[in-house]
Structure 1
Amino acid sequence: MALLRNKIFSTCVAASLLCATSTVFAESVAIKYDQIFIADKGLVVKDLLTGQLNQCTAPPLLDPAGNDVTSLLATATDVVIKRNYAIVTVHPLDSQGNALTDTVTVDVSKCLVQKTIPVKECISTVDLDRGVLTIPCVQINDSIVTVNMDRRGSSSNWEVTFLQDNANMANYSDASNDDEEDDDSKSKQKGH
């Protein structure tokens, strides 16, 4: 019985240490408009498609009132993107040296360049002689793709022949889909 109790205790201690270790070293990430926001003792942004560092968060980082909050991000651990703002969890020390949990709001609008797509980029085309239909702006889940369809024989039935990412739609986002209920955070990404 004592041996079983010791094994259970040892397992619980080991699991707790592993969880604590992974929490301490984890970088918190949020993704919006093909930009990856990383909160890890500061706020860093990388391009999702290329992995290149984006200089849009070079100091000074400003809050909505225009105050420089760069130095407040030295203890950043988590980030959520809402509209044009990054809400960053920080852990400053109080006057007695105790860590507190707080948030800092950072204006990241210069990182969130939303692309405007000319109508001509989304006009479907059809070649009835060849029996080919191209639909350039089809939303499938969170991606916008180009769909090519071929006519089946001489009928009016069409079948999808292939889908491909629509390069013209990179960074496009439907602004009407950014409501208050959407947290645009890594927690949304965890479900995928």
Structure 2
Amino acid sequence: MQFKDTKINGVKIISPVRRGDHRGYFSEVFKDNWFCENVADVRFVQDNESLSIEPGTVRGLHFQLDPFAQGKLVRCISGALWDVAVDLRRESPTYGKWFGCELSAENGTQLWLPAGMAHGFMTIAPGTIIFYKVTAPYSAENDRGLRWDDPEIGIEWPNTASPILSEKDEKQPLLRDLPTYFHVAV
């Protein structure tokens, strides 16, 4: 496996190596020791998966508050999506900035988002399945969100002509209306 830093401190792109032949390929997509030594020394407690049937489906931007703030290791196992992290750590030099990349079943790329990030994605292929490991269990009481198309953040989504959103995601607040939830560790 290989990793690459992004413009947001702590957010990393992970590229598992695929070894293939005429039958297909084999790939180690997660190794605990390697991950702890090279990316983040964390413990994953839950795996999540969601299917989005139509291209243009937007899920997010979501995050959870402490003590259930989640680090996420995200990958696409069917189809393709544009995956986004937004830094919500108030003292961070990249506070309010975003990073996005394409995750697909074809490219096998993964994205690591430490706690303190809002996470969201837009599907760019039908029948897209996203799979992600998290460092804290889901907590409805600590679940929060951020508006996916906040002009102040300026995320460059692949297609905003007619996004498909949940009622919850249509009503999320703007960044400027969020209280300070996360701080950069000193």
Q: Looking at both structures, which has the greater relative contact order when contacts are Cα pairs under 8 Å and sequence separation is at least 6?
A: 2
TM-score range, shorter chain: under 0.3
More helix by share: 1
More strand by share: 2
So what's the TM-score if we normalise by structure 2? 0.21
So what's the TM-score if we normalise by structure 1? 0.20
